[in-house]
Chains A and B, each alone.
Chain A
Amino acid sequence: MVMASATRTNRTTRTPAPGRHPSSLASLWRSSVGKKAVMAVSGLVMLAYLVAHMLGNLKVFSGPDDINGYAHWLRTLGQPFLHYGWFLWLARLVLLAAVLAHGTAAYQLSRRDLKARPVKYVHQRQRATYATRTMRWGGVILGLFIVWHILDLTTLTVNPAAEEGHPYQNIVASFSTWYSGGIYCLAMLALGLHVRHGFWSAAQTLGANNPRRDRGLKLAANGLALLLTAGFLSVPVAVMAGLVR
């Protein structure tokens, strides 16, 4: 097979002992394939949340009472087993864990990837699709957007209206400013691209892909990306167009 070359640079390589492996989460995290699986699962958790979030957002079109009532209902969910607001905090905890796992794995894998190609090609060629090439920076942009989004509509720190318990009024106030609407729209386009490559990639990483499913999974990824982006964008666009006020 591979021709044995005359000279070998002296690099020591650890040859693993055959057949003896502790089956644990730690060993999963240590391998590149395991880290990718963590990224895939955490990504899918966030994706499931985004679908629910987007559908909830659409209530803005049925008036202030509807969406404000929905926001209140989210806090009463699980009562009396859970206290008021606990369900929301549990969801936030899961999401925080997902974001941290996703980001940490992405950072560590990216460092490893960049180190694996220390000398670049002189003749550079456009590689892969736009969505694939923007995964890393797109992810960073989405991370920064999440911080802004929480400050805007959860803690209401930067919200112009900042009326606690009245999301409808806060949404309208926020998207009435050009910068808030602009940031939101840009972030949603980045989200669409991220999901487009991410969903299919997650299926591939978790071993769910095969030649028969490949086309379907790519279509599903594109559909999901389009649906999420369109759904999320409809709210700021409607506010800026004066349809929701």
Chain B
Amino acid sequence: MNLTLRIWRQQGPETPGEMTEYRVSGISEDMSFLEMLDTLNEELILRGERPVAFDHDCREGICGACGMVINGQAHGPERTTTCQLHMRHFDDGDTIDVEPWRAGAFPVVRDLMVDRSALDRIIGSGGYVTAPTGSAPEAHATPVPKEAADLAFEHAECIGCGACVAACPNGSAMLFTAAKVVHLNVLPQGAPERASRVRNMVETMDAEGFGGCTNTGECATACPKGIPLTGIARLNREFLRS
């Protein structure tokens, strides 16, 4: 496959950036999107140019490190992470636009890398669960209803990639915060801090400069882990009852 790439290049947080055009050839349709970028970077290094910076780690779709907006869609045309997106979803001769996550709370570090530590600070403000330390507790000491366990697992799937923020027209982190709040608030282990957790996390979310939710639904459509939009309703309920 031969492709034309238009990639956002930006030296550093304070310098202006622009879309730059590159041509890559000999791309296999079995390559992942990141492997395609690796191919480009090898060529750039051989030519003595600065390679394109992008975040990546596990390349298995479970760590949440990689992420870029491909043709206007977070993680590209398939509902998966960028590392698990394969080139077979593109056609020979395509022009592909690659941009970093765009949000005021996610400053660009370089090229396609953004600083997503605002999400870490939201988690941090949620605090810890009150759990006894020492030997493992007896398994039946705290029964968890099946429904609560399923709900917690569903929301615990969030890998914090930030696709929801990137896809949201308001750069809102509501789906991310909802995933974290619901995950802990529906379990008996998270119950004692239920009210303070949701209030602190929403407060940090606002302070970090994320936008508000207009129930557009773009976040849940982009989420590679399928966190449901109704999770936001649950977050709102937790917040209002606190």
Contact of B207 with A by CB under 8 A:
yes
Contact of A15 with B by CB under 8 A:
yes
Contact of B125 with A by CB under 8 A:
yes
CA of A14 to CA of B240, assembled, Å: 22
**Contact among B72, B117, B196, B236 with A21 in the assembled complex (CB-CB below 8 Å):** B196
Contact of A80 with B by CB under 8 A:
no
Q: How far, in Å, is A115 (CB) from chain B's closest CB?
A: 6
* B216 nearest in chain A by CB position: A128
CB pair B236 A121 closer than 8 Å:
no
CB pair B214 A117 closer than 8 Å:
no
CA of A128 to CA of B168, assembled, Å: 10
Contact of A104 with B by CB under 8 A:
no
Q: Inter-chain contact count A-B, CB under 8 Å? A: 189
CA of A21 to CA of B235, assembled, Å: 18
Q: How far, in Å, is A72 (CB) from chain B's closest CB?
A: 41
**Contact among B107, B202, B215 with A9 in the assembled complex (CB-CB below 8 Å):** B107
CA of A10 to CA of B134, assembled, Å: 39
Contact of A209 with B by CB under 8 A:
yes
CB pair B230 A214 closer than 8 Å:
yes
Interface string of A185-208 (1 = CB under 8 A from B): 000000000000100110111111
CB pair B236 A112 closer than 8 Å:
no
Stretch at the interface among B36-44, B96-104, B138-146: B96-104
- A122 and B169 in contact, given A15-B124, A204-B215 (Cβ under 8 angstroms): no
- A18 and B230 in contact, given A1-B120, A117-B169 (Cβ under 8 angstroms): no
Contact of A62 with B by CB under 8 A:
no
CB pair A18 B127 closer than 8 Å:
yes
* B201 nearest in chain A by CB position: A16
**Contact among B103, B117, B162, B239 with A116 in the assembled complex (CB-CB below 8 Å):** B103
CA of A200 to CA of B203, assembled, Å: 25
- A1 and B211 in contact, given A119-B102, A203-B233, A207-B233 (Cβ under 8 angstroms): no
Which residues of the partner chain A approach B208 to less than 8 Å between Cβ atoms? 13
CA of A35 to CA of B64, assembled, Å: 31
Which residues of the partner chain B approach A109 to less than 8 Å between Cβ atoms? 212
CA of A124 to CA of B123, assembled, Å: 31
Query: Is the interface on chain B under 10, 10 to 19, 20 to 34, or 35 or more residues?
Result: 35 or more
CA of A33 to CA of B228, assembled, Å: 18
CA of A55 to CA of B216, assembled, Å: 31
Q: How far, in Å, is B85 (CB) from chain A's closest CB?
A: 16
Contact of A32 with B by CB under 8 A:
yes
Q: How far, in Å, is A91 (CB) from chain B's closest CB?
A: 27
Contact of B93 with A by CB under 8 A:
no
- A112 and B212 in contact, given A16-B203, A32-B202, A37-B236 (Cβ under 8 angstroms): yes
* A213 nearest in chain B by CB position: B230
CB pair B72 A2 closer than 8 Å:
no
CB pair B202 A4 closer than 8 Å:
no
CA of A6 to CA of B169, assembled, Å: 27
Contact of B30 with A by CB under 8 A:
no
Q: How far, in Å, is A202 (CB) from chain B's closest CB?
A: 9
Further contacts, 13 of them, CB under 8 A, given A117-B171, A121-B72, A125-B71: A1-B120, A8-B115, A9-B13, A15-B124, A18-B193, A21-B196, A32-B205, A113-B172, A116-B210, A122-B97, A127-B216, A132-B217, A207-B235
Interface residues of A (CB under 8 A from B): 1-9, 13-16, 18-19, 21, 31-37, 109, 112-125, 127-128, 132, 135, 197, 200-201, 203-211, 214
